[in-house]
Amino acid sequence: MDVRDPQARALGTALWSPRSEIALRFVERRTGVALDTAWWRARIDAAVARRAGILDAETTACRLVHGEGDGLPSLVVDRFDRWLVVQLLSAGVEAHRVEIVEALRAIEGIEGILARNDASVRAREGLARVVEPLWGTVPETIEVHEHGVRYLAAPHTGQKTGAFLDQREARRLVAGVARGRALDLFSYHGSFALHLAATASSVIAVDSSAPALERAAENARLNGRTNITMVVADVFDFVREAEGRGDRFETIVLDPPAFAKNRASIAGALRGYKDLNLRCMRLLAPGGLLYTASCSYHVRKPEFLGMLEEAAKDAGRRMILRAITGQPADHPEVLTIPETGYLKGALVEAGD
Ligand code: SAH
């Protein structure tokens, strides 16, 4: 819809959510733009073009539309091989469902589109929370390749849209440096563990969800990996007990869920991150590597790095910063729209 200020000056074109706290989401600086199928198609084609080179025989899943990062606020589209999983996260995009599906069907090689519209933000938009096919059929599980590793995505029931695509490049980074005894904390379907297992001698994958680790075990079989052990446990307890036993690891991945869900919980979240990170630092063998991440939008990059510094101090170890990581190219972050950025990570090495 066209948006004008009280003096009737044109502000632009926006998607409208009548019942949301966020009533308008701007998509054009001009007025008089018809948000028809051709318009959606042009934006979606631009998003697909931005990802040129990501998908190939070795990598068959990535995010195709990252909301505002692709100029399509509240629309998320993930591609898993020949299928798309879509999230229509506002009343504004819901009103354009027909045009969006038309535009997505035109993407080459697509056989089915599923809406994972069960996200809680839909309730705040006055929308129903449902999982439903939008076009064709989407299988219960889809075998996906990620830099040569195979895993099963669960588009209908898995977390987010069926898998965590945002750590793809980080998994490749750690696969390149992993060795010795390795630990994958908050493993979910074992995605990091599978990559670690190629070069590490053994991997322990820890998660509190037994069904998630059953899927991890299935994924290990799919890749012919026999050096991954699944442990159903609370990670906070696991690392405390491992420290008590004097366990040491050459490689650790720490990829927790978002601890800070809102601004009020930032301080508590930072304490949680620091506690886990300092314990992981103590668990490192000399020269050992820790890849640590935070997907809390509310914990910004400076706070994340500050937390790591504090953790290193309290761990009493000399930690060397080997790399700072962010979002992969299929999760574009717009510098002037901080909401498009949430994932940050670091690779650190125990220097003593
Ligand atoms: N590393 C995964 C994604 C992790 S998602 C990947 O790359 O795909 C977060 C995971 O943490 C979920 O699987 C959830 O079951 C698990 N989890 C949440 N709280 C936990 C806790 N306290 N202890 C262990 N696992 C936990």
CATH value at residue 344: 3.40.50.150
Q: Is residue 156 part of a domain?
A: no
Catalytic status, residue 295: yes
Residue 147 lies in a domain: no
Distance (Å) from CA 206 to ligand 1 centroid? 8
Q: How far is the C-alpha of 8 from the C-alpha of 163, rounded, in Å?
A: 46
* Averages of pLDDT over each 10 residues, the chain, 352 residues: 96 97 96 97 98 96 98 98 98 98 96 97 96 97 97 95 96 97 98 98 98 98 98 98 97 96 92 97 98 96 97 97 98 95 98 93
pLDDT at residue 32 in the model: 95
Q: What is the pLDDT of residue 261?
A: 86
Residues 62 and 174 in one domain: no
Same domain, 126 and 200: no
Q: What's 70's domain CATH number?
A: 3.30.750.80
Q: Are residues 27 and 176 in the same domain?
A: no
Q: How far is the CA of 321 from the centre of ligand 1 (A)?
A: 24
Tokens of 91: 């009343």
My answer on whether 115 and 228 are in the same domain is no
Q: What is the pLDDT of residue 108?
A: 94
- Among 119, 136, 153, the domain boundary falls at 136
Ligand 1 interacting residues, C-beta cut-off 6 A: 164, 167, 186-189, 191-192, 207-209, 212, 234-236, 255, 257
Residues 88, 175 share a domain: no
**Domain co-membership, 194 together with 342:** yes
Same domain, 102 and 211: no
Q: How many domains does the chain have?
A: 2
Domain hosting residue 110, numbered range: 2-136
In the prediction, which pLDDT does 285 show? 98
The pLDDT of residue 281? 98
- Please give the model's pTM, rounded to 2 decimal places: 0.95
Structure tokens that stand for 235 in this block: 């990670």
In-domain check, residue 141: no
Ordered alpha helix ranges (H), the chain: 37-50, 91-94, 97-105, 121-124, 168-177, 191-196, 210-222, 235-245, 266-283, 301-315
Which residues are paired to 288 by β-bridges?
A: none
pLDDT at 223 (0 to 100): 98
175 and 76 in a common domain: no
Residues 118 and 225 grouped into a single domain: no
